[in-house]
Amino acid sequence: MTSIDVHELTKEYGTTRAVDRLSFRVQPGRVTGFLGPNGAGKSTTMRLVLGLDRPTSGSATIGGRSCAQLTEPLRTVGALLDAHAAHGGRTPRSHLAVLAASNGIPGSRVRAVLEETGLGDVGARRIKSFSLGMRQRLGIAAALLGDPRVIMLDEPSNGLDPEGIIWIRELMKRLAREGRTVLVSSHLMNETASFADHLVVLGRGRLLADMPMKQFLDSRSRPRVRLRTTEPARLHASLASKGLTGVPAEDGRWVIDGVTAAEIGALVAGEGIPLLELGDERATLEQAYLDLTAEDTPFAASPARNRQEA
């Protein structure tokens, strides 16, 4: 079993603490979304896991071993950190051939990952002519090169077109189904909600949450019902008798806080109030995330935020 284990990890740059006593484990077999505001320490954590930066204290291991101890590390962990890191003067084929040579990976894998990432036809073109989306695909190809058990991707959907975003989503889900450990950072909430099974959320270098996606959403949601009726006046009277108030929303809908659809359904059925629509409203990942990180965003435009609108 190959998990990523981060234990009491701390990294200081001068007087700034980029990562602050961080502990979490990324399990195989699921996609773990790695969330946090800009500057929360996501990329730093990934570099520490890869042994590129030295921690001030604490440890980060892959399958119980630090990355520097791995022989042929690309066969254990593949990472996309920065799509611009590939030298523009090389071709995708030579970029991957360089990596394959050092880790004893056969040349057939270079062709295989180029095909898999849709770069099969441009393998001999210079990378400097590539769009950001194509560079992302090349970075993902490099991460998959050694057929690793652990995959870390830093903002992989940057610059991808809609087809590319769907492709990367399906790819990550497939990698997790194959039993691999997949850690993906992102700041796109709807994107993350569409692929992550589990979330690790950072704020100012500290761990804010480490839980399954569903639990995270439930823990940050307050019960709320949205409905449509032809007789708002009777509905109001009925709600008032239970100490509830409806707030008008767009399209003639009403929103009621603090109750579930089951409770409202029973109430209006008893009164014989006709309903055209009734449903529980769940927090989106975006709302839940903003609720959690409101105090931990170093570069927020404004401290006050209307969470209803967010």
Q: Please tell me the distance from the alpha carbon of residue 135 to that of residue 56, in angstroms, as a whole number.
A: 32
Q: Does 15 bind another protein (CB under 8 A)?
A: no
Q: Does 90 bind another protein (CB under 8 A)?
A: yes
Q: What share of the chain is helix, strand, coil (3-state, %, to 5)?
A: 40, 25, 35
We find the least distance from the C-beta atom of residue 264 to another protein, in angstroms, to be 54
| Lateral strand order in the sheet of 246-248 | 246-248, 254-257, 224-229, 275-280
Q: Please tell me the distance from the alpha carbon of residue 139 to that of residue 70, in angstroms, as a whole number.
A: 21
Q: Please tell me the distance from the alpha carbon of residue 305 to that of residue 300, in angstroms, as a whole number.
A: 10
Which residues 50-89 are close enough to bind another protein by CB under 8 A?
50-54, 67-68, 70-74, 77, 79, 81-82, 84-87, 89
**94 or 194: whose CB is closer to another protein?**
94
Q: Do 19 and 10 touch, CB atoms closer than 8 A? A: yes
Instruction: Return the residue of 30, 47, 169, 198 that touches another protein, per CB under 8 A.
Output: 47
Instruction: Return the residue of 26, 119, 142, 235 that touches another protein, per CB under 8 A.
Output: 142
Structure tokens at 151: 């995959």
Which residues 166-195 are close enough to bind another protein by CB under 8 A?
none
Q: Does 104 bind another protein (CB under 8 A)?
A: yes
Q: Does 94 bind another protein (CB under 8 A)?
A: yes
Residues near another protein (CB under 8 A) are 47, 50-54, 67-68, 70-74, 77, 79, 81-82, 84-87, 89-91, 94-95, 97-99, 101-104, 142
